[in-house]
Structure 1
Amino acid sequence: MKAPALPEASNTHLKGLALTALGGMTLTIDIPLIRLADGDHWPILMVRSGLTVLAALVIWSVWRMFSRDVPALVPGRHGLAVAGLYALANITFIGAVYNTSTANLVFILAFNSMFAALLSWIFLRERPRPATIIAMFVMMAGVLIIVGDSVGTGNLAGDLMALASAFLIASAITVSRASKRDMGFAALMAVALPFVLAAVMTARTGYRIEEPLWIVLNGAVVMPLAFFCLANGPKFLSGPEVAMFYLLETVLAPVWVWLIFSEAPTMQSLIGGSILVATLIAHSLWQIHAGRRRRAAALMRHPM
């Protein structure tokens, strides 16, 4: 009677891999689409954020038409906190796009998983394993190499915005885990604040987007699809496995920008980024392996 469970579990795992891979791959074209739109900072943020909010409301409304079991758009005080953190992360992210290279941005954003581990240790009393602590220090060295390369080049402000964005995303993840609530729609509704701010600033500075279709595609399709898939990945996969798909943006976004805009990363950026990516991959693989060993040990202690 237990034999059929293996194919079912395997199919569930494959479904999770396909869903999360789709989300990760979709996210890799976020920055190239922003660059292709060829617009000013504030109007780009306004259109991208406004369309994401609109898409979230449409999805939520349609879902509600067919089912009453729909997550709240912003679940309570924790939901407001998460939305606020994601909102600030969105603002700093767009600022980083316009003030540093794509390679620097995505490499530094990859640091958010280590920020999340640190915040969980401090606030949730989830003490990281020694391997995680070592990985955090190695990644910190990688970020310092990237940021150090930007001193005196005009990219330092953008790198600091990217670092702030990584920290804010990690903070939002920590609050979400502490609340144990479904924050999927809160993450999408968070961009309402950047939309209002960007709309006010656009009214003052003027509207310029040379190729608006690219940013419409980004805000209305790419961002909702990417975050929907990635947010649902943990239903089918372990946390470390899901985290590995976020690395797709770190690896592929600079490649797309290099191919489209001929923006080659600097040697120090490549060195620092390689340290970040290699450390994240090694740490994620270690977590997966350690998790499987723990499950196997538990199964031996408590055989079915």
Structure 2
Amino acid sequence: MTIHSEQAKGIALAAVGGLALTSDIPLIRLSEGEAWSVLGVRSAVTFLSAITIWLMWRAFTPKVPSLVPGLSGLAVATLYGLGSITFIASVYSTSTANVVFILAFNPMFSALLAWVFLGERMRPATMLAMAAMIVGVVIIVWDSIGTGNLFGDFMALSSAFFIASAITVTRASEREMGFTPLVGVLFPAIIAFAFVAEGGYRIDAPWWIILNGAILMPLAFFCLGTAPRYIPGGEAAMFYLLETVLAPVWVWLIFSERPTTNSLIGGAILVIALVLHSLWQLLDGRRRRGLPEQLPL
């Protein structure tokens, strides 16, 4: 496979995964369910879908990735599980725009954790982007001070931290973790159904959650998890911005939920800082490898 065909494959995978991810919050909202019920069904369906795909893959070839590769895999699965719990909590406690804009802080958390635990030196451009993104998050959260939305904003920030931690462990282990995030949702499913058993089950339109958990989330996680094998991590990370940009648009069109002025200002700062930093990473990486400095179309 040539460099150009590998790059095209990586971009296609990242684009499909990023677009599938933009449907997550709208489908959760369309299900009109109680938080623990939605978390339980979404997690259980995603887990069953992942296991089905894995078993079918194994039937054709023995070279199927491990579901949970060792202790590092268990740590990654647990972190993704915690990320799922805090993500659902944020969706039900603050606005969609706040959730996706704050989740965009994930790459900066990853850079910080890599610096602390992996000894990867943060370059001045990364520190500048992180400072700008912190300002963006503060502007977004400022609207929520003194309201119930502050809890949701914190849950979104926690979700970004847990996912960044999982990415850091994955990089440190150098193990194949393609199925691990999908298996990790078993943990929140068990917790969610325990709460449902006490408080009762309610999802008015469960087919939206089944579509989300059975097809779109496995597709998103698998594509976005595989893309970095073919394109640089900085380039792949740019496609996560599709959710940041498009999810609030879908929610606005479907539910007429308009972001606040502070959310738009802070979100714009986050997106611009992340795009500029990702472009800088991409161009710097190409220059170091002696490749032409052109951006993917």
The Cα of 1:12 is off from its aligned counterpart by: 2.2
Structure 2: where are the runs of 5+ without partners? Answer: 292-297
Which structure is larger by alpha-carbon Rg, 1 or 2? 1
| Aligned AA (1:245) | F
C-alpha distance in structure 2 between counterparts of 1:240 and 1:120, whole Å: 14
- Determine the structure 1 residue equivalent to 2:294: none
Given candidates 229, 232, 237, the residue that maps to 1:238 is: 232
Q: Secondary structure at the match of 1:184?
A: coil
| Aligned AA (1:168) | F
- Determine the structure 2 residue equivalent to 1:30: 24
Q: Secondary structure at the match of 2:179?
A: helix
The structure 1 segments of at least 4 consecutive aligned residues displaced by more than 6 Å after TM superposition are none
Structure 1: where are the runs of 5+ without partners? Answer: 298-304
- Determine the structure 2 residue equivalent to 1:260: 254
The Cα of 1:11 is off from its aligned counterpart by: 2.3
TM-score, structure 2 length as denominator? 0.97
Report whether the alignment pairs 1:197 with 2:196. Answer: no
C-alpha distance in structure 2 between counterparts of 1:22 and 1:185, whole Å: 17
Within 5 Å, which residues of 2 pair with 1:48-59? 48-59=42-53
C-alpha distance in structure 1 between counterparts of 2:147 and 2:186, whole Å: 33
C-alpha distance in structure 2 between counterparts of 1:97 and 1:80, whole Å: 26
The Cα of 1:88 is off from its aligned counterpart by: 0.5
| Aligned AA (2:267) | G
- Determine the structure 1 residue equivalent to 2:99: 105
- Determine the structure 2 residue equivalent to 1:19: 13
Given candidates 143, 146, 153, the residue that maps to 1:149 is: 143
Q: Secondary structure at the match of 1:156?
A: helix
- Determine the structure 2 residue equivalent to 1:168: 162
C-alpha distance in structure 1 between counterparts of 2:160 and 2:75, whole Å: 16
- Determine the structure 1 residue equivalent to 2:78: 84
The Cα of 1:153 is off from its aligned counterpart by: 2.6
Given candidates 205, 214, 218, the residue that maps to 1:211 is: 205
- Determine the structure 2 residue equivalent to 1:251: 245
Identity %: 63
Within 5 Å, which residues of 2 pair with 1:52-71? 52-71=46-65
C-alpha distance in structure 2 between counterparts of 1:124 and 1:182, whole Å: 18
The Cα of 1:102 is off from its aligned counterpart by: 0.2
The Cα of 1:128 is off from its aligned counterpart by: 1.3
C-alpha distance in structure 1 between counterparts of 2:77 and 2:4, whole Å: 35
| Aligned AA (1:38) | E
Within 5 Å, which residues of 2 pair with 1:273-292? 273-292=267-286
| Aligned AA (1:108) | I
The Cα of 1:9 is off from its aligned counterpart by: 2.3
C-alpha distance in structure 2 between counterparts of 1:268 and 1:49, whole Å: 32
Alpha-carbon RMSD: 1.2
Q: Deviations over 1:244-268 (max 9, x none)?
A: 0000000000000000000000000
- Determine the structure 1 residue equivalent to 2:68: 74
C-alpha distance in structure 2 between counterparts of 1:98 and 1:28, whole Å: 17
C-alpha distance in structure 2 between counterparts of 1:295 and 1:107, whole Å: 32
C-alpha distance in structure 1 between counterparts of 2:214 and 2:155, whole Å: 25
C-alpha distance in structure 2 between counterparts of 1:11 and 1:84, whole Å: 35
- Determine the structure 1 residue equivalent to 2:116: 122
The Cα of 1:13 is off from its aligned counterpart by: 1.5
TM-score, structure 1 length as denominator? 0.94
- Determine the structure 2 residue equivalent to 1:301: none
- Determine the structure 2 residue equivalent to 1:302: none
Q: Deviations over 1:230-286 (max 9, x none)?
A: 111012111111000000000000000000000000000000000000000000000
C-alpha distance in structure 1 between counterparts of 2:179 and 2:5, whole Å: 27
Give the count of matched residue pairs: 292
